[in-house]
């Protein structure tokens, strides 16, 4: 793992602006920013799987789409093999599009219902200039076989497939151009567990066979533990903890990660009757995130110092967490604890995921 | 674990026997629920777990008679323990139990609230967006209050809310269906489900609530009639994991406080493990295995249950490889189901005798462990095994219908959730 | 383009909806009449015969009071005569004031109405759909500009706008040789199909807004679908995405609107003809205009083409309703998420 990273993300920002319509401008309203992604940095080594976990509205899907330049970034840089993705010219951008692919969450909305699966899988080839129709069709058949479907299904429509099969079609499409890097945006969240396991196995096999590098975006911690080499935990547009999967799961440092792991119900009889110390309150609105550490409104250890400045983490390959508690000499230890009640009601005031900005429907996962 | 033993000695509050619900769609008859039997006991949490299309939600809707056209409960009995009703409708009674399906519709409707109430998956679509949340809960309270004053008369519950009253209301906005008392009760309920500042929140509209808060409000609404059985249909599926933990805690607290019975319907085996005393596993409209939590999780007999447990990645131990169930969820079209074990085409242990539909066998473990699989009766015999490509070779049309089928049963699945 | 499910829905709606059958029957009948007009019409719709003027339709008798001055015995006398005019099978729908056969005129009028309806709608689609798709796909300033312009267009009553435009421009008329006449199958019929070019352009110009709005709405929703995102992530150009994904998935409501617009344009064309802004004298609206002066004495001159318009509009709207119900994805069509 000493190689140069394949993907390097530096202080990536993506803000949405509300009240920014024609009428709003006429009425002289100030555009209001929603900081969906607010300064995220990480890197991904070739061949590894980095997990990006967090709850709905934390900005994980936006991060994935912004780093692929599907959405215009507000700030920051993304380097793909050292080359700045946002500064690429048309030709370079097109080459980048061949090498970096994405698989979406919703197997129903991600396939055009009016195209046959053969056309869907072959679409990337068509876009990238392979004009020979018969050749595209052959390649589509090959890809369908590879993802565990039958080549004879090439002329069927997506509506004739189940969710798991559609997700396989989506994966086949992502593989058509033989990419090196694939963003998997909640690829199994919409699937039933028995089918989910099939798709996870398929993704692992494909990674091995083609030497793929994955950014695996998910909210399901069990899945992340299973498939990822490293994990970054996001909360309100920021990464709060990042590290090797085993370190994160066995020795979580950030109170949010700890609470997240604590909350997951395990499918075992020992789980019966386990009472979880649930985090109080809701996720605050990203329109108006709390000052200082975003998590202080729900954090059981919050102190005055947490309101004042945001903690930072080092970008590196070590286990890092953005929390003052990890620094034994920090002023945090001198400041007074915030009463949990106050934090509670403040947290409950946030409207959370219910009224996310309409520009980012993918966040309503 | 002593918890489960305590449950065994409790009395049944609801006995479901051979319940079948079918949807009559353009594509054909869909057997959404197929001859399902189970009991719900006093003060327990019974789990029903299954994947989408397994019929778990339709089962719940069938219990409270909310299956919508083109669906219909076609057979079975729902024995509900209620001495008063048993006396009043002695034709449909068996001791203290009365068969809900034999009761007139208005009586069944009157039972929604004080006897059974339901919490749905999507709180956002379960509330009317244009009415304050408190008002909607107060309405539920009012309905129950009137029902108690004059039991089982639909008229009394809507009394004073005819057309005239409606027109009057639109002119004079102060004349509400609900009164102050119901409002106070609504605020009280909101407080009980842990909503901070309930007075204020009662006046707010659904869109001002977060998903978790709205789910709490829906639970408050379901509690308005102080039901005997609370049916929770995927109550935490739409929520984040930290919010899910809050809601699960809340459900357990109210269940213990009121000694209610809860029927917990979910696809999440983790939620089942945390919450439930006893479990039913559903597949293709049938209960394929049922028993105590230990029976099902530690001694699974049906290969489907085993496969389900093998499919979930373990949070505390990253196993090198998952053991998924091959194939896809079957179509529930009557014409395609045949007379075999419905799981045989995906089962790693399918044998020749699985081409006959298996009865429910007693299985190893507690006295109530049952499985609809021949393996509960006798062990796997490799000489009897079906060839691995039996279903592809034997039924060349299968690749088509199986794929298409999963889509065809979606209307049924949606119908359950749209309520 | 048409998936098996769409066909299934169409069939189901067909089975359950007897109105659809009436609508399709009407539209097919009118279409056949329009196409085979030269073979079906008993007379040349333009040939006049003054002695047969104002004959009533079958089943009606008309009495006519006529006064005439005559020289009788060297002085002028006013003679009042009362004549009874009987309908004849020669002119089952009667004749107009020029003695032209109403049946033939209605048959030929169907040609004009349907052609103007279809071509006008096509033109409106060609203008409106691309504008709407572009506005909806790009949103932002492009959308603001295009849609404000569309709103202004909508705010104008379309008839007033049309009258203004027709008045402003020259009456252009396109003449297409009638194939049946050219082939010698109907030698006595008019040799050309006369199309009111200005009217077609004008109705297209005043109705494209509807298509723009519907197309924009569809584009707004389709652009959020993940398959659009997927195509963009593959490096597809905007033009490719719009042509390949956005347009095909917006087609259904545009088609439904199209059928309804054909009916609306037939009405608009009739209204224009009625007001005298017509390029052709063979049109239902023109005949209504002609009959206006004779409403008291020869009501059928206006009523017969009026009925034809009513039947055509009802038929087309019923077909539109059928398509809308059958193609509505809300009825379990393709797409949609969840489960």
pLDDT at B407 over 90: no
pLDDT at B141 over 50: yes
DSSP 8-class letter at C43: S
Are B3 and A273 in contact (CB < 8 Å)?
Answer: yes
Are C144 and A170 in contact (CB < 8 Å)?
Answer: no
Nearest-Cα distance to chain C for A174, in Å, is: 8
The CA distance from B119 to B81, in Å, is 22
Q: Considering Cα of B408, then B409, then B412, then B415, what sign does the dihedral take?
A: negative
Are C339 and B26 in contact (CB < 8 Å)?
Answer: no
pLDDT of residue B7: 59
Instruction: List, in sequence order, the alpha helices (H) in B123-210.
Output: 123-126, 133-149, 154-158, 163-171, 180-192, 198-202
DSSP 8-class letter at C243: I
Domain that holds residue A222: 7-114+157-266+274-363
Nearest CA in chain B to C13: B26
Q: Per mean pLDDT, which range of A181-195, B176-190, B274-288, C122-136 is the poorest? A: B176-190
Chain B, 87 to 146: residues with Cβ < 8 Å from chain A are: 124
pLDDT of residue B414: 40
How do residues B5-50 score in pLDDT, each as one tens digit? 455 678 899 999 999 999 998 778 899 999 999 999 999 999 999 9
Are C3 and A113 in contact (CB < 8 Å)?
Answer: yes
Nearest CA in chain C to B122: C338
pLDDT at B240 over 60: yes
pLDDT of residue B411: 39
Residue A12's H or E segment, with its range, is: strand A7-18
Chain B, 47 to 66: residues with Cβ < 8 Å from chain A are: 51-52
Q: Per mean pLDDT, which range of A74-78, B78-82, B317-321, C105-109 is the poorest? A: B317-321
Nearest Cα neighbor of C193 from C113, C247, C268, C260 is: C113
- Region A291-307: mean pLDDT is 89
pLDDT at C323 over 80: yes
How do residues B269-305 score in pLDDT, each as one tens digit? 999 999 999 999 999 999 999 999 999 999 999 999 9
Percent of chain A with pLDDT over 70: 90
Touching A: which chains, 3+ CB pairs < 8 A? B, C
| pLDDT mean across residues, chain A | 85
> What's the token pair of residue A61?
């899907």
Range from A330-344, B165-179, C19-33 that averages highest in pLDDT: C19-33
Are C334 and A163 in contact (CB < 8 Å)?
Answer: no
Nearest CA in chain B to C15: B26
What burial class does residue C99 get, using C-beta atoms within 10 Å of its C-beta: 0-12 exposed, 13-18 middle, 19+ buried? Answer: middle
Are A127 and C3 in contact (CB < 8 Å)?
Answer: no
Token match 């808060």: residue? B213
Residue pair B392/B384 in contact (Cβ under 8 Å)? The answer is no
Q: Per mean pLDDT, which range of A280-289, B66-75, B161-170, C284-293 is the poorest? A: B161-170
How do residues C255-278 score in pLDDT, each as one tens digit? 889 988 888 888 888 888 888 777
Nearest-Cα distance to chain C for A247, in Å, is: 33
Nearest-Cα distance to chain A for B211, in Å, is: 6
Are B413 and C332 in contact (CB < 8 Å)?
Answer: no
Between chain B and chain C, how many beta carbons pairs sit less than 8 Å apart? 12
Are B313 and A223 in contact (CB < 8 Å)?
Answer: yes
Chain A environment of C338 (Cβ under 8 Å): 108
**CB neighbourhood size of B265 (10 A):** 27
Nearest Cα neighbor of A353 from B377, C313, B209, B99 is: B209
pLDDT of residue C141: 83
Chain A environment of C245 (Cβ under 8 Å): 112
Q: What is the CATH number of the domain that holds A48?
A: 3.40.50.300
pLDDT of residue C4: 64
Token match 């000695």: residue? B9
Mutate to test the interface with C, among A91, A104, A113, A171 (most CBs of C within 10 A): A113
Residue pair A138/C246 in contact (Cβ under 8 Å)? The answer is no
Are B411 and C332 in contact (CB < 8 Å)?
Answer: yes
Angle among Cα B209, B211, B216 to the nearest 5 degrees reads: 80
Nearest Cα neighbor of C272 from C198, C208, C205, C209 is: C198
Nearest-Cα distance to chain B for A64, in Å, is: 20
Domain residue extents for chain C: 4-55+94-331, 60-90
The CA distance from A23 to C114, in Å, is 41
pLDDT at C298 over 80: yes
pLDDT at B153 over 60: no
pLDDT at C339 over 50: no
Residue pair A122/A180 in contact (Cβ under 8 Å)? The answer is no
pLDDT of residue B163: 62
Residue A268 — left, alpha, or beta (φ > 0 → left; ψ -120 to 50 → alpha)? Answer: beta
Chain C contact present for A109, CB below 8 A: yes
Q: Which residue numbers of B have CB closer than 8 Å to C's CBs?
A: 26, 52-53, 410-411, 413-414, 417
Chain A contact present for B163, CB below 8 A: no
The CA distance from A88 to A68, in Å, is 12
Between B419 and B383, name the one with better pLDDT: B383
Are C234 and A97 in contact (CB < 8 Å)?
Answer: yes
pLDDT band at A310 (very low <50, low <70, confident <90, very high): confident
Token match 């008063």: residue? B84
Give Cα A145 distance to the centre of its chain. Answer: 28
pLDDT band at B172 (very low <50, low <70, confident <90, very high): low
pLDDT at A345 over 60: no
pLDDT at B112 over 90: no
pLDDT at A97 over 80: yes
The CA distance from B289 to A298, in Å, is 41
Closest partner CB to A265 (pick from B243, B270, B322): B270
Percent of chain B with pLDDT over 90: 42
Q: What is the CATH code of the structural domain delimited by C4-55+94-331?
A: 1.10.3720.10
- Region C186-196: mean pLDDT is 86
Chain B contact present for A269, CB below 8 A: yes
pLDDT at B320 over 90: no
How do residues C142-160 score in pLDDT, each as one tens digit? 888 888 888 888 888 878 8
DSSP assignments along B316-377, one per residue:
TB--SS--PPPS-PPP-BHHHHTTS-TTGGG-TT-BGGGGSPP-PEE-SSSTT-EESSGGGT
Closest partner CB to B313 (pick from A56, A225, A352): A225
Are C339 and B411 in contact (CB < 8 Å)?
Answer: no
Residue pair C266/C258 in contact (Cβ under 8 Å)? The answer is no
- Region A99-124: mean pLDDT is 91
Chain A, 167 to 226: residues with Cβ < 8 Å from chain B are: 192-198, 200-201, 204, 219, 221-223, 225-226
The CA distance from B33 to B21, in Å, is 5
How do residues A260-286 score in pLDDT, each as one tens digit? 999 999 988 888 988 888 888 888 888
Domain residue extents for chain B: 127-226
pLDDT of residue B160: 52
Are C248 and A112 in contact (CB < 8 Å)?
Answer: yes
Closest partner CB to B413 (pick from C8, C12, C339): C339
pLDDT at A163 over 50: yes
Are C8 and B410 in contact (CB < 8 Å)?
Answer: no
Chain B contact present for A285, CB below 8 A: no
The CA distance from C319 to C223, in Å, is 29
The CA distance from A199 to A201, in Å, is 5
pLDDT of residue A346: 39
Give Cα B5 distance to the centre of its chain. Answer: 23
pLDDT band at A340 (very low <50, low <70, confident <90, very high): low
pLDDT of residue B12: 92
How do residues C237-261 score in pLDDT, each as one tens digit? 899 899 888 998 888 889 889 988 8
How do residues B389-401 score in pLDDT, each as one tens digit? 777 654 433 333 3
Token match 């979406």: residue? A104
Mutate to test the interface with B, among A201, A216, A269, A365 (most CBs of B within 10 A): A269
Q: Which residue numbers of C have CB closer than 8 Å to A's CBs?
A: 1, 3-5, 144, 148, 224-227, 229-236, 240, 244-245, 248-249, 334-339
How do residues B328-341 score in pLDDT, each as one tens digit? 778 788 777 778 89
Nearest-Cα distance to chain B for C337, in Å, is: 10
Give all strands of the β-sheet with A230-235 in edge-to-edge order: A100-103, A181-185, A213-218, A49-53, A230-235, A238-244, A320-321
pLDDT of residue B393: 54
> What's the token pair of residue B273?
């493990």
pLDDT of residue B400: 37
Chain B contact present for C11, CB below 8 A: no
Closest partner CB to C249 (pick from A70, A112, A158): A112
Residue pair A254/A323 in contact (Cβ under 8 Å)? The answer is yes
Percent of chain C with pLDDT over 70: 94
Touching B: which chains, 3+ CB pairs < 8 A? A, C
The answer to whether residue A141 sits within a structural domain is: no
Neighbour-count burial for A100-119, b at 16+ CB within 10 Å, e otherwise: bbbbbbbbbbbbbbbbbbbb
Chain B contact present for A127, CB below 8 A: no
Angle among Cα B344, B345, B346 to the nearest 5 degrees reads: 90
The answer to whether residue A80 sits within a structural domain is: yes
Mutate to test the interface with A, among B125, B194, B292, B403 (most CBs of A within 10 A): B403
| pLDDT mean across residues, chain C | 83
Residue B264's H or E segment, with its range, is: strand B261-266
pLDDT of residue A199: 93
Nearest-Cα distance to chain C for A62, in Å, is: 12
Report the domain count for chain A.
1
pLDDT at C204 over 60: yes
The CA distance from A11 to B11, in Å, is 61
pLDDT of residue A358: 38
Chain C, 12 to 31: residues with Cβ < 8 Å from chain B are: 12
Between chain A and chain B, how many beta carbons pairs sit less than 8 Å apart? 189
Q: Per mean pLDDT, which range of A190-199, A335-344, B118-127 is the poorest? A: A335-344
Touching C: which chains, 3+ CB pairs < 8 A? A, B
Chain C environment of B26 (Cβ under 8 Å): 8, 12
């Amino acid at each position: 793992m000493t190689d140069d990273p394949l993907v390097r993300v530096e202080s990536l920002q993506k803000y949405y602006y509300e009240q920014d319509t024609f009428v709003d401008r006429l009425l002289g309203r100030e555009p209001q920013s929603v900081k969906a992604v607010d300064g995220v940095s990480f890197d991904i080594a070739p061949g590894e799987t980095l997990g990006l976990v967090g709850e709905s509205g934390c900005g994980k899907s936006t991060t994935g789409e912004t780093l692929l330049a599907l959405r215009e970034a507000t700030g920051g840089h993304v380097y793909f093999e050292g080359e700045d993705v946002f500064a690429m010219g048309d030709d370079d951008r097109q080459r980048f599009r061949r090498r970096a692919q994405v698989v979406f969450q919703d197997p129903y909305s991600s396939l055009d219902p009016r195209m046959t699966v053969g056309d869907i899988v072959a679409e990337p080839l068509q876009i990238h200039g392979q004009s020979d129709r018969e050749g595209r069709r052959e390649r589509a058949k090959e890809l369908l076989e590879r993802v565990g479907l039958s080549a004879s299904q090439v002329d069927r429509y997506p509506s004739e497939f189940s969710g798991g099969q559609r997700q396989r079609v989506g994966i086949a499409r992502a593989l058509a151009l033989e990419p090196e890097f694939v963003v998997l945006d909640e690829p199994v969240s919409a699937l039933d567990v028995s089918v989910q396991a099939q798709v996870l196995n398929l993704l692992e096999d494909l990674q091995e066979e083609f030497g793929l590098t994955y950014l695996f975006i998910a909210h399901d911690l069990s899945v992340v533990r299973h498939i990822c080499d490293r994990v970054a935990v996001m909360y309100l547009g920021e990464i709060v903890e990042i590290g090797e999967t085993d370190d994160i799961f066995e020795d979580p440092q950030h109170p949010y990660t700890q609470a997240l792991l604590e909350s997951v119900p395990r499918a075992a009889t020992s789980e019966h009757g386990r009472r979880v110390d649930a985090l109080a309150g809701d996720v605050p609105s990203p329109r108006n995130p709390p000052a200082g550490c975003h998590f202080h409104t729900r954090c059981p250890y919050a102190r005055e110092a947490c309101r004042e400045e945001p903690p930072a983490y080092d970008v590196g390959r070590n286990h890092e967490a953005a929390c003052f508690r990890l620094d034994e000499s920090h002023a945090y230890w001198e400041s007074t604890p915030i009463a949990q009640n106050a934090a509670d009601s403040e947290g409950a005031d946030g409207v959370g995921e219910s009224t996310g900005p309409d520009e980012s429907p993918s966040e309503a996962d | 674990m002593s918890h489960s033993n305590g449950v065994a000695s409790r009395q049944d509050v609801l006995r479901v026997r051979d319940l079948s619900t079918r949807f009559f769609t353009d594509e054909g008859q869909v057997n959404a629920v197929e001859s399902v039997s189970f009991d719900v006991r006093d003060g327990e949490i019974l789990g029903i777990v299954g994947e989408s299309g397994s019929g778990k939600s339709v089962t719940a809707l069938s219990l409270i008679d909310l299956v919508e056209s083109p669906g219909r409960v076609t057979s079975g009995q729902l024995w509900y323990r209620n001495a008063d009703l048993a006396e009043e409708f002695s034709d449909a009674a068996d001791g203290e139990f009365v068969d809900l399906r034999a009761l007139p519709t208005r009586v069944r409707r009157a039972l929604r609230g004080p006897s059974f109430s339901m919490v749905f998956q999507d709180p956002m679509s379960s509330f009317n967006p244009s009415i304050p949340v408190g008002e909607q809960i107060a309405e539920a309270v009012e309905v129950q209050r009137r029902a108690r004053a004059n039991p089982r008369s639909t008229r009394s519950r809507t009394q004073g809310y005819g057309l005239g009253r409606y027109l009057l209301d639109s002119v004079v906005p102060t004349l509400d269906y609900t009164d102050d008392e119901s409002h106070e009760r609504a605020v009280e309920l909101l407080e009980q489900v842990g909503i901070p500042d309930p007075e204020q929140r009662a006046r707010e509209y659904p869109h001002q609530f977060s998903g978790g808060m709205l789910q709490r409000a829906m639970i408050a609404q379901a509690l308005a009639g102080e039901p005997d059985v609370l049916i929770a249909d995927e109550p935490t599926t739409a929520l984040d994991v930290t919010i899910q933990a809050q809601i699960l805690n809340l459900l357990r607290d109210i269940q213990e406080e009121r000694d209610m019975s809860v029927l917990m319907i979910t696809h999440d085996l983790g939620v089942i493990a945390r919450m439930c005393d006893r479990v039913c596993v559903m597949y293709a409209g049938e209960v394929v295995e049922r028993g105590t939590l230990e029976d099902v999780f530690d001694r699974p007999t049906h290969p489907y249950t085993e496969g389900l447990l093998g499919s979930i990645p373990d949070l505390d131990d990253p196993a090198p490889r998952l053991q998924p169930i091959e194939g896809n969820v079957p179509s529930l079209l009557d014409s395609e189901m045949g007379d075999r074990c419905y799981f045989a085409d995906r089962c790693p242990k399918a044998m020749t005798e699985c081409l006959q539909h298996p009865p429910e066998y007693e299985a190893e473990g507690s006295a109530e462990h049952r499985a609809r699989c021949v393996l509960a009766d006798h062990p796997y015999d490799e000489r009897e095994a079906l060839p691995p490509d039996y279903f592809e070779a034997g039924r060349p049309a299968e690749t088509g219908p199986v794929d298409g089928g999963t889509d065809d049963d979606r209307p049924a699945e949606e119908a359950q959730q749209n309520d | 383009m048409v998936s098996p499910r769409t066909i299934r829905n169409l069939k189901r709606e067909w089975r359950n909806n007897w109105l659809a059958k009436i609508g399709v029957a009407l539209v097919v009948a009118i279409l056949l009449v329009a196409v085979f007009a030269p073979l079906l019409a008993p007379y040349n719709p333009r040939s006049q015969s003054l002695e047969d003027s104002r004959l009533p339709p079958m089943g009606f008798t008309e009495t006519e009071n006529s006064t005439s001055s005559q020289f009788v015995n060297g002085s002028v006398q006013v003679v009042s005569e009362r004549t009874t005019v009987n309908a004849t099978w020669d002119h089952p729908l009667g004749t107009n004031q020029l003695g032209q056969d109403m049946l033939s005129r209605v048959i030929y009028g169907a040609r004009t109405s349907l052609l103007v309806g279809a071509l006008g709608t096509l033109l409106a689609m060609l203008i409106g759909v691309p504008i709407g798709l572009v506005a909806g796909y790009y949103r932002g300033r492009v959308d603001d500009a295009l849609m404000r312009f569309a709103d202004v267009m909508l705010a104008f009553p379309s008839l007033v706008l049309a009258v203004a435009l027709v008045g402003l421009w020259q009456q252009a008329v396109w003449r297409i040789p009638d194939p049946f006449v050219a082939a010698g199958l109907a030698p006595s019929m008019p040799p050309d199909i006369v199309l009111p070019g200005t009217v077609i352009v004008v109705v297209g110009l005043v109705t494209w807004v509807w298509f723009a709005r519907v197309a924009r709405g569809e584009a707004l929703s389709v652009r959020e679908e993940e398959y659009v995102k997927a195509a963009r992530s593959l490096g597809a150009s905007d033009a490719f995405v719009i042509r390949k994904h956005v347009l095909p998935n917006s087609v259904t409501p545009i088609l439904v609107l199209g059928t309804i617009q054909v009916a609306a344009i037939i009405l608009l064309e009739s209204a224009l003809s009625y007001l005298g802004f017509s390029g052709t004298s063979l049109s239902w609206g023109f005949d209504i205009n002609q009959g206006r002066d004779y409403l008291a004495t020869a009501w059928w001159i206006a009523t017969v083409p009026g009925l034809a318009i009513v039947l055509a509009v009802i038929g087309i709207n019923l077909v539109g309703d059928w398509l809308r119900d059958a193609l509505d994805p809300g009825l379990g069509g393709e797409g949609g998420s969840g489960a």
